[in-house]
Amino acid sequence: MSVLVVGTTALDSIRTPYQEKPKLLGGSASHAAVAASFFAPVSLVGVIGDDFPAPYVQLYQEHNIDLQGLERKPGRTFFWEGEYEVNMNRRRTNETVLGVIENWLPDLPEPLRRKPFVLLANCEPKLQLHILNQIHDPRFVVADTMDLWLNIARDDLLALLKKIDALILNDTEARQLTEEDNLPVAIRQIHELGPRYVIVKKGEHGAMLSGPQELFLAAAYPLTELVDPTGAGDSFIGGLTGYLAEQGGEIERHLRQAVVYGSAVASFCCQGFGLAATEKLDKVRIKERVAEIENFVRFELPERPETNPRHR
C-alpha cells in the first residue's frame, strides 16, 4: 500500500558544536518521505522555490518518490537554520523563512486523493487539514506537530486531532498540549482530544505508544556518536508509516513493530548531517538494527547448558 506525505521540503543550515553545513536538503516531508520509501511507494506533497537545487529533486527520484504533488513556485524555498548545544539534546532555531510555503494550500491531483496511508508531517495545521480533507476515505492517518503550532495555531491543531488516527509528538509537546506533567495522564487526555493512538517520542530514551491495547515502551538505539539529530522525528514517523503500509493495513497487529522500525530509521538519521546517512540506507541494514534493538530489550535470556564457573 502507498503513502502520501505532506510537509516542508526545505533548505536547512545546521550548526552543531563540531561542524556547520549550509543549505542541506531538509524539511519534515523530505525526511519522512525518504524514510518511508524503504518500505512502501511514497507520493510527496510539497512546494519548492526556484532556489531548490536539482540534485535534491534527484535524491527524491532515486528513492522512487512520486513527485506529481511537488509544486515549484517562484520565490524562496522554506529555509530553516538550527543550532545544537554541546550534548545535542537542545537546539535553537536561529531563523525560519517560510518562502513559498506561506499560505500555500494546493489542490491535490486526483490520484493522490486515493492514497490509503496519509502522513501529515510537521507543518502548519491548516495545511495538514486542507490536505486531509481532500483524501477519500483514508485507511490510516498519522500526524506530527511541534511547539510552534501549539502556540500559534492551537484551534486548527485541535480540529485536526479529531480527524486523525494517530498523533506523534515529543514529551515536552505532550505536556504543553495538555498542561499535564505526568506523561501517562497527558497521553490519556490526548486520546480524549481524538486520536486512537498516541505516540510520544522521548529522544534518546525511546518512545511510548498508547492505544486500545495498552502501553508499549520502545527503546531508542543507543548511539555512541551523534552527528546531527535533525530530522530524527520525521524519519521516525516515516519509517513507522512506511512499515505499516508495507504490512498492508492491519494497524493494531503491526503498530508495535512499526514503532521499533521507526526508531531504527531515526537512529541512522542521527549518524549523518541532514539526509546523508538516511539516504544510503537499505532494508537489510534497517532490519539488522531492529534485531539489535530487540536484543537490547529482551529480558528472558535463553537458558545456557553450562554457566561460566567464574560467574557461579
| Interface region with ligand AMP, contact rule CB under 6 A, candidates 35-43, 229-237, 239-247, 303-311 | 229-237
Strand order, beta sheet including 117-120 = 66-72, 42-48, 3-6, 117-120, 140-144, 166-170, 197-201, 207-211, 214-218
> Distance between CA 158 and CA 83 in Å, rounded?
30
CA angle in degrees (0–180, nearest 5) for 135-169-287: 85
> Is 208 a binder of ligand AMP (CB under 6 A)?
no
Q: What is the DSSP letter of 38?
A: T
Nearest alpha carbon to residue 255 among 128, 140, 164: 140
Q: Using the rule CB under 6 A, which residue among 3, 4, 12, 112 binds ligand AMP?
A: 12
> Is 168 a binder of ligand AMP (CB under 6 A)?
no
Q: How far is the CB of 266 from ligand AMP (least distance, A)?
A: 8
> Distance between CA 154 and CA 189 in Å, rounded?
15
Q: What is the DSSP letter of 302?
A: P
Between 22 and 248, name the residue whose CB sits nearer to ligand AMP. 22
> Is 232 a binder of ligand AMP (CB under 6 A)?
yes
Between 28 and 278, name the residue whose CB sits nearer to ligand AMP. 28
- Grid coordinates representing 297 are 530489550
Between 147 and 288, name the residue whose CB sits nearer to ligand AMP. 147
Cβ atoms < 10 Å from Cβ of 276: 15
Pairing of strands 3-6, 117-120: parallel
Can you tell me whether residue 118 is helix, strand or coil? strand
> Is 234 a binder of ligand AMP (CB under 6 A)?
yes
Q: Which residues, numbered 55-94, are part of the site for ligand AMP (CB under 6 A)?
A: 80
* Site size for ligand AMP (CB under 6 A): 16
| Interface region with ligand AMP, contact rule CB under 6 A, candidates 25-33, 50-58, 63-71, 298-306 | 25-33
Pairing of strands 79-84, 91-97: antiparallel
> Distance between CA 261 and CA 240 in Å, rounded?
6
Q: Using the rule CB under 6 A, which residue among 37, 230, 267, 278 binds ligand AMP?
A: 230
> Is 122 a binder of ligand AMP (CB under 6 A)?
yes
> Is 28 a binder of ligand AMP (CB under 6 A)?
yes
Q: Using the rule CB under 6 A, which residue among 69, 125, 211, 231 binds ligand AMP?
A: 231
The contact set with ligand AMP (CB under 6 A) reads 8, 10, 12, 26-28, 80, 96, 122-123, 148, 230-234
